[in-house]
Structure 1
Amino acid sequence: MTTTPATTPSLTAPAATPGLSFGQAVRLIAEREILTRLRSRAFQVSTGIMLLAALAGVIAAGTLGGRTSTTSVAVVGDVAAVQQASGLAVRHVGSVAEATALVRAGTVDAAVVADRSSPAGIRIIADESSPDALVAALSVKPQVTLLDPPTIPPGLRYAAAFGFALIFLMSSATFGGTIAQSVVEEKQTRIVEILISAISTRTLLTGKILGNSLLAFAQVVVTGAFAVIGLSVTGESATLSLLGAPIAWFVIFFVIGFVLLASMFAAAASLVSRQEDIQATVTPVTMLVMIPYFLVIFFHDNSLVLTIMSYVPFSAAVGMPLRIFLSEAAWWEPLLSLLILLAGTVGVIVAAAKIYGNALLRTGAKISVREALRSSGVD
């Protein structure tokens, strides 16, 4: 089946519509995109779930992180090791028999008895299994001196990496997929032919990207606000102060990076004419969104990988803010990365606009990227 340009229907836009300036037309398209998404029940539910999950995740992490497990211990005699250990609920008893009875009854987890015949000077009495937590607490631990101690705890490092990557993945994939579905829906229902009779394809593309970018930006800001609320509720003021600058940089990088990805989603979707073909054509773009997520999950402690990520346009929104949070980026690196991202975004927009304009009114079989770049479409 050959692909041929679709004929323009006889329907025309109102007489005043062609007189709209570029800015006015873009604003109308953007408003249409925003209102359509805001009225969508699926969008409302998914956004609510994401916000609640972000808030619950931060609160749960802070609450669980603040918990300390205790081991109940019956102590016979003067046992100095027990007094120096932490995480023990100590109960002093008068005899070994009484301590043994408490262990058998399950009142305490174990008993510690002074025993001069033992090399350690103490003996532990337990019921069915060795109380490893108690043994570890009573063990003598040598002092460790780190020459280059990490400024960020490993757990917090991983949590920050996971958070930046997850928000980037969910927002980009959600709104990118929305743009793709919108493009194909307009082609399949031939609404695009009416729109193009009044405005140019560049105007339509710009409005779509702007509207969805504003929604994605708002969603990221609100998610960040919920995370801040969660950190405040759990009393993580120190963590909150560390995340201030990285979050601000993340928002800046995300806004520009999403425009790059949105352009790619729109261009990829314009190559097909049926909803059933969307998944196949946007898969390469979706993979670009997923790659930063998996990279930080597996290489969040690898400085080389994070450095490379921070200079690659589609992953800079995750890599650079994370390096700023870890204090691994010099003051000029975010600026250089931002310039590279801007240059890459401009280049992608130019190519995407050409593909979108050449393929938008062509129906039938899927169009290849090379064919869309070479052919002459509508402006």
Structure 2
Amino acid sequence: MSTPSPASTSSAVWLVAEREIASKLRSKAFLISTGILLLIALAGVLIGGFASKTAAPDEIAATSQTSQIVSALPNVKVVEVQDRAEAEKLVKSEKVTAAVVPGEGDDGFGFVVLAKQDAPQGLVGALSKAPQVVILEPAGTNPLVRYLVAIGFGVIFLMAASTFGTTIAQSVVEEKSTRVVELLISAIPTRALLAGKVIGNTVLAMVQIILLAAIAVVGLIVTGQNEVLSGIGAPILWFAVFFLFGFILLASLYAAAASMVSRQEDIGSTTMPLMMLIMAPYFLVIFFNDNPVVMTIMSYVPFSAPVAMPVRLFVGEAQWWEPLLSLVILVATCIAAILVGAKIYENSLLRMGARVKLGEALRG
């Protein structure tokens, strides 16, 4: 009588991945926390969008002689009229905020501002004579919008990476402490078990990223931030790509670090360095989002590139080739982390009791 052949490595990987995904989707705590995260993200996008939204332009009446002057003013919409009488009629009926019509006299201005009761100080100030101003380094992005985008990418990376990284670590230690892992690796290769865990949690993390991106798009549309929306599309796509490889890198290291201990209480001691690597981009982007030098350096460091590079792309500080070079560095680091993590995982998974030292895990 022939015995059934063992499952192939690829089949084993997908079986473990499906198990990881199914166990998460059955968890009420995971579903509730995901829902709360999406609601917080939506609220943040709406609040940020309304806060940074440009005020509606003032409607100012102007004749053919003054329309060119008025149209050059900031945040103003010109309503052309035939003469002063028509302009006065629109001002009195409050259909326009004010009017600028040809003036008489030797005051040097050549025009007059008409207002119903109080003259708009912004309009008067804009029309006043002032020296010519030349901006040598014009700001490409609203500082508030830049800050909010940086915070958004940082928070998403921090929460997704830390949440699923911790989940992987707890799963590894739970299987090790209950000795379930001994049954698992008797049926499937150790590396297939590691790959399945990483792939399963990566799928869940990427689904969250896609949902958050959709929420960001909806929030920007609702708040009328079409200009921001048109500029953030490509950075969001790059963020998803960078996050994919960045998360695989961190997930492999989380699983490896967790395999060196046998109790849930000891997870923190081995994963703390990884948590610091996840938190660093978040805090650095808060303090240095307007510092081009620091942001450039961060965009080439594998652990911070998923946050820094999309921000630089959004504000237009990165050349077209920079995200490609940064991605190559990240992928190379990811491959190295997978190889090292797999070695540590294989050498530590069946060692119970005291914490396995890193040197011993690498040497086997």
TM range (shorter): 0.7 to 0.9
Q: Distance in 1 between matches of 2:133 and 2:253?
A: 51
Q: Distance in 2 between matches of 1:340 and 1:235?
A: 37
Q: Distance in 1 between matches of 2:187 and 2:221?
A: 51
Q: Residues 269-313 of structure 1, C-alpha deviation per residue, up to 9 Å, x if partnerless?
A: 001000011111110001000000011000001111111111111
Q: Residues 167-202 of structure 1, C-alpha deviation per residue, up to 9 Å, x if partnerless?
A: 011100000000000000100111101001101110
> Structure 1: any 5+ residue segments left out of the alignment?
1-14, 69-83, 87-133
Distance 1:188 1:137, change over 3 A: farther
Partner SS state of residue 49, structure 2? helix
Higher relative contact order (CA 8 A, sep 6+): 1
Given candidates 295, 299, 302, the residue that maps to 1:310 is 299
Alignment partner of 1:262 is 2:251: yes
Alignment partner of 1:252 is 2:241: yes
Q: Distance in 1 between matches of 2:54 and 2:224?
A: 13
Q: Give the Å deviation of 1:138.
A: 8.3
Alignment partner of 1:215 is 2:215: no
- Matched residue, 1:181: 170
Amino acid at match of 2:251: A
Amino acid at match of 2:323: P
Q: Distance in 2 between matches of 1:64 and 1:350?
A: 46
Q: Distance in 1 between matches of 2:14 and 2:32?
A: 26
Alignment partner of 1:278 is 2:267: yes
Q: Give the Å deviation of 1:145.
A: 3.2
* Mapping for residues 193-208 of structure 1, pairs under 5 Å: 193-208=182-197
- Matched residue, 1:43: 30
Amino acid at match of 1:189: T
Q: Give the Å deviation of 1:67.
A: 8.1
Given candidates 137, 145, 157, the residue that maps to 2:134 is 145
- Matched residue, 1:130: none
Q: Give the Å deviation of 1:144.
A: 4.4
Alignment partner of 1:338 is 2:327: yes
Alignment partner of 1:27 is 2:10: no
Partner SS state of residue 290, structure 2? coil
Q: Give the Å deviation of 1:255.
A: 0.3
- Matched residue, 2:363: 374
Q: Residues 333-352 of structure 1, C-alpha deviation per residue, up to 9 Å, x if partnerless?
A: 11111111111000010000
Amino acid at match of 1:46: S
Q: Residues 240-281 of structure 1, C-alpha deviation per residue, up to 9 Å, x if partnerless?
A: 000011001000010011000000100000010000111111
Superposition misfits of 4+ residues, deviation over 6 angstroms:
134-141
Q: Distance in 2 between matches of 1:222 and 1:61?
A: 18
* Mapping for residues 42-191 of structure 1, pairs under 5 Å: 42-66=29-53, 144-191=133-180
Q: Distance in 2 between matches of 1:189 and 1:53?
A: 37
* Mapping for residues 356-371 of structure 1, pairs under 5 Å: 356-371=345-360
Q: Residues 117-147 of structure 1, C-alpha deviation per residue, up to 9 Å, x if partnerless?
A: xxxxxxxxxxxxxxxxx99998789674311
Q: Distance in 2 between matches of 1:229 and 1:323?
A: 23
Identity %: 57
Given candidates 213, 216, 226, the residue that maps to 1:224 is 213
Distance 1:284 1:20, change over 3 A: same
2:52 and 2:145 in contact (8 A); partners too? no
Amino acid at match of 1:286: M
> Structure 2: any 5+ residue segments left out of the alignment?
56-72, 76-119
Q: Distance in 1 between matches of 2:13 and 2:229?
A: 38
Amino acid at match of 1:234: T
Amino acid at match of 2:184: L
Amino acid at match of 2:299: S
Distance 1:136 1:61, change over 3 A: same
Q: Distance in 1 between matches of 2:53 and 2:144?
A: 13
Distance 1:168 1:41, change over 3 A: same
Measured on the aligned residues, the alpha-carbon RMSD in Å equals 2.3
TM-score, structure 2 length as denominator? 0.78
Q: Residues 102-122 of structure 1, C-alpha deviation per residue, up to 9 Å, x if partnerless?
A: xxxxxxxxxxxxxxxxxxxxx
- Matched residue, 1:97: none
Q: Give the Å deviation of 1:148.
A: 1.2
Q: Distance in 1 between matches of 2:279 and 2:123?
A: 42
Q: Distance in 2 between matches of 1:32 and 1:341?
A: 28
Q: Distance in 2 between matches of 1:147 and 1:49?
A: 45
Distance 1:242 1:371, change over 3 A: same
